[in-house]
Structure 1
Amino acid sequence: MSALKLHGIVPPVVTPLTPDYQVDEVSLRKVIRHLIDNGVHGLFLLGSTSEVVFLNAKQRADAIRIALDEANGAVPAVCGVMDPTTDRVIENARQAKELGVDGLVVTSQFYPRTSQNETIVHFSMIREAVDLPIVAYDIPVCTQLKLSRETLMSMYEQKLICGLKDSSGDDGNMRMVMKDFEDKPDFSILTGSETTVDYALLGGAHGNVPGLGNVDPAGYVRLYEAAQRGDWDAARAEQERLIRVFQIVFQGVPHTSPNASGVGGFKTAMHLMGLISHRHMSRPNQLIPDAGVEKIRQILTETGLLH
């Protein structure tokens, strides 16, 4: 397995859509430039914030192709290949490799109820089929399975995974995982939280995969750089400002689902900032209502992101 050690700020890239639900190439190129120009350390294509499970094979391929072309190798790019079953994940992984990504991001199976042992087999089959580094993605709210510490260590020892994106919300368990891997310099641990990044970096995390990083990549880069130089007061101050920005994710509820409110909050903010042409999501997710849009505009203005 080729080496891949992710670190720093690696946003899960929003997938802008045209009114007929195709990938908006002009907007996606603008998003990639926005991220790279503001100093991110990597790109996570086709993550949850990217609406990966809503996208068909063509849409996934278009998003990967456009993003990699615009990035032009400036930073590492990993790609989510999530799907309910192993064989479908392998198909997605082969497509991603052919298009040129640097690594894969894989969850346990979802919809079919699975076990820790079957999850290890799932990862081993993907790893055997496609020769790319794999980052394990722990997101039990979507998969209904929490990747145990023992499972993660077993997969690492079998050379199946090179890192972890922890979106479990279980900060206590993540802290113990960081302890488990403290003497494994080839393994990277990244938090998926937008709001506890300073805590995670202090505890030993190597970086962060923030959906809100699409809106304010420079803020997350400042937070990471402050942590790297040991300026925890500056890291905390930046984290607290980002928490204020993060309130955009709540402005769709109860009109939308919490998921659509989150992704819709990001897309609405990016639309207001001139980064994307349209703010709609994949069907059937509903737009943030007008009152929510105005609240997002107010939050962006108050936090210095919109003038």
Structure 2
Amino acid sequence: MEKVSVIVPVFNAGIYLKQCLDSILDQTYQNIELILVNDGSTDGSASVCEAYRQKDSRVKLVNKAIGGGGVGAARNTALPLVSGDYVLFVDNDDWLEPNHIEYLYQSLKETDADIAVVNFTQFMEETNSFAFHLQAQDYFRQIFSPQEWFKKEYESRFSISQCFTVPWCKLYKAALLDGIVYPEDEKVEDDYTTWKIYLKAERIVYSNTSLYYHRKRQTSVTKTVEISSVFPLKSIEERIAVLSLIGFDIEPELRAYRWRLNLHKDFYLKTGRMQDYQKCMQKISILEKWKR
């Protein structure tokens, strides 16, 4: 059995951490290493991580001397420690179905793919309820080239757009992460990074089944940061540049870019950031002149 390296950035995960770690260590696929990067937690998460390290030899623990680097910095710390053939990311307050890793691994092997992707179920912390967007009859499995997979990037049905963007609910061949650097100066880092890993792959297999539980809390990053950070302009500008250079269809990106420009424009005007507002207006006026 090949080894799977599971990376979990940890920061003040509180009561959710044990459920997360148990769901990983109790997987039906047991040949794993669990790399925990404790980013200066002050709520007891560090002691939980240390307890798991002591009781399970598969657990590696890094306690960062200077915390507050964010999820991107934690992932960058973990990647050089990977000794597995494959890499899986899990957020520290989420949890997995028991066969999550086994299913992804078998999908890769059966299809000779480089990345396997599954869907997720959202758990709403405030109401203690699940938001299901898949039913049994919605299941399908499909193999994509990177060009074909990018056509799914903005598909809202079954939340495929979110599946495309997030780093979790995926199993990557470890070699694809060579040279990948997560931004450490951005509040939301996945929009800058995940798409680059797809471009290093040859085949991507997607299964429309839910095997990951994503917890939504009022303190979640996407709930607490400003909208301009959740849908950044810089990341999509970089994506348009790279995709156009390698000959991909960029029309969906251009439509998304216009949408983000208007989103930023309205946000900057509302919050009084007039210089940023004017920059958006300048770009919008150029696009309108040239009908893009």
Structure 1 length as normaliser, TM-score?
0.30
Structure 2 length as normaliser, TM-score?
0.31
**Which is higher, the Rg of structure 1 or of structure 2?**
2
